Structure 1
Amino acid sequence: MKLHYVAGVASLLVLAAATASADDVTFDATNTASNTSGGQLFDQVIGVDYAEQVLSDASAFVWSIFNQPNPADRRPVDNDEVTLVVEDIGGVAFTSGSGIHLSAQYVGSYSGDVRTEVVTGVLYHEVVHVWQWGLQDYGAHPGIFEGIADFVRLKAGYAPSHWVQPGQGDRWDQGYDVTARFLDYCDSLQSGFVALLNAKLKDGYSEDYFVQILGKNVQQLWQDYKAKFGG
């Protein structure tokens, strides 16, 4: 039986596809790969009801990290809906607009905690891509956007054990866990740094944002970060 979630509270309304909602945003998950081993594992261990609740919880968490209690401050999503489709595709996951696509092949091949590390952690990362500003500049500066997504995953407590430790990495905009750790350092210098950075990204990317917010250029901040952690 599939349940309908309204602001995180389950009701007994049975639907063809489970949905969840928060702040008038609807969250919908579908598994189109139930005939594959990865899709079957998704159904057995996770399920669309849980996945939709993760989408809802992750969105609320992103809004808190981005300091966006007012929906007008958030990046708009198509039809006020965030969707997840589990598909028989390669890779891990990708997001296009407000649609998240999760690889059933990846789910099926993972040997660790599938529910927490693969689905919950990955979905928190992908949900950030739905809501973060500035994606028009993603092609030129992917590191900062992937770093912000992993920063949110880190703050939510879903950083997997294989991530780099603080101070590791070759450059600040390396992306993913490296940049996430660096952004966490920047956020320690000024609480809410990532929220301020995300808001500025609405108007396009500029390294000068680091100077505007923290008073130092990003290269100096990277050097300070490496020195602090002996990286």
Structure 2
Amino acid sequence: MKLHMAIAAAAAASVLLLAAASTAGAVTYKVNNEATSTAGGRRFDQEYGVDYAKQVLADASSFTWKIFNQPSPADRNSVDAVVLAVRDVGGIASTSGNTITLGAGYVAAITGNDFKTQVTGVLYHEVVHVWQWGLQDYGAHPWVYEGIADFVRLKAGYTAAGWVQPGQGNSWEDSYSVTARFFDYCDSVKPGFVADLNAKLKNGYNVDYFVQITGKTVQQLWQDYKAKYGN
């Protein structure tokens, strides 16, 4: 009897452990350096490293889920793995599906003492593209999606040199840091604004989302934003 109870208890413990492992391993993070023969590829290995990059991908994913108010995997984009590939390509970085490409040339050219911080900021931005909804409308409204990605980067504390200051910019459609700063203002008007906007984007973009979330049109919000900072 005691033996049967012990076996049953062990089996139950194994099930719990397997369930925990399954939950913890729901998303895997992979890093492939395909540019080891280049200066940027070698620098990535020496000054950033595969293990560190994997941890950044995991941290950035968790932070994005928090910003998007997605505590459960059922709330998120269905992604089993986030992949970072360091490649000998032009540009800084890009994302296609679940794969982020980091340009080896960009890595090689980074100056300053905050090398890791600069790369991490880029990765946070790109990780958002893996998880955000509505990318089927990216081509028509890229500023919305880039603004959300930079908003997450902003809230994570990874702003970059050259970013505009709050209130700057000619239009909320200027994209990247201009739109991110504007979304930060919208988030102060209606806490959770970006989470609500991202959720609505699952069905495609509509400018009326601003009214639905905040009660104001995007034009009204932009005018209020500019007025707040004396612009």
Aligned position for 2:120: 120
**Pairwise CA distance, 1:164:** 0.3
Structure 1: stretches of 5+ with no match in the other structure = 1-20
| Higher alpha-carbon Rg | 2
Q: Match for residue 203 of structure 1?
A: 203
| Cα distance between partner residues in 2 of 1:104 and 1:201 | 32
Q: Given residue 29 of structure 1, which amino acid in structure 2 is its aligned partner?
A: V
Match of 1:133 in 2: 133
CA RMSD, 1 decimal: 1.1
Structure 1 residue 150 and structure 2 residue 150: aligned? yes
| TM-score, L = length of structure 2 | 0.88
Match of 2:64 in 1: 62
The equivalent residue for 2:97 is: 97
| AA at the equivalent of 2:145 | F
Q: C-alpha displacement at 1:161, in angstroms?
A: 3.0
Q: Which has the higher strand share?
A: 1
Output one character per residue of 1:160-202: Cα deviation in whole Å (capped at 9) or x when no partner. Answer: 1321000001101211000000000000111111000000000
Give the Cα–Cα distance (whole angstroms) in 1 for the partners of residues 24 and 65 of structure 2: 11
Determine if contact 1:22/1:56 at 8 Å carries over to the other structure. no
Gapped regions of structure 2 (runs ≥ 5): 1-22
User: Residue type of the partner of 1:85?
Assistant: A
Alignment-derived partner of residue 44 in structure 2: 42
Kindly, what percent of the aligned residue pairs are identical? 68
Which amino acid is the alignment partner of residue 115 of structure 2?
V
Aligned partner letter, 1:174: D
1:107-130 Cα deviation digits (max 9, x unpaired): 00111322111x100000000000
Q: In structure 2, the residue corresponding to 1:221 is in which secondary structure? A: helix
Matches within 5 A, 1:153-164: 153-164=153-164
TM value normalised by structure 1: 0.88
The ranges of structure 1 where at least 4 consecutive aligned residues each deviate by more than 4 angstroms after the TM superposition are: none
Match of 1:51 among 32, 50, 53: 53
* TM-fit CA distance, 1:23: 5.5
- 1:178 equivalent in structure 2: 178
The code of the aligned residue for 1:58 comes to A
Q: What is the deviation of 1:96? A: 0.3
Aligned to 1:94, what secondary structure does the other structure show?
A: strand
Query: Partner of 1:9 in structure 2?
Result: none
User: 1:22: Cα distance to partner?
Assistant: 4.8
Structure-2 separation of matches of 1:41 and 1:64: 31
SS in 1 for 2:78: coil
State the distance in 2 between where 1:228 and 1:22 align: 44
Amino acid at match of 2:116: R
Structure 1: distance between partners of 2:25 and 2:151: 23
Q: Does the CA-based 8 Å contact 1:166-1:229 persist in structure 2?
A: yes
CA distance in 1 between partners of 2:205 and 2:25 (Å): 28
Which is helix-richer, 1 or 2?
Answer: 2
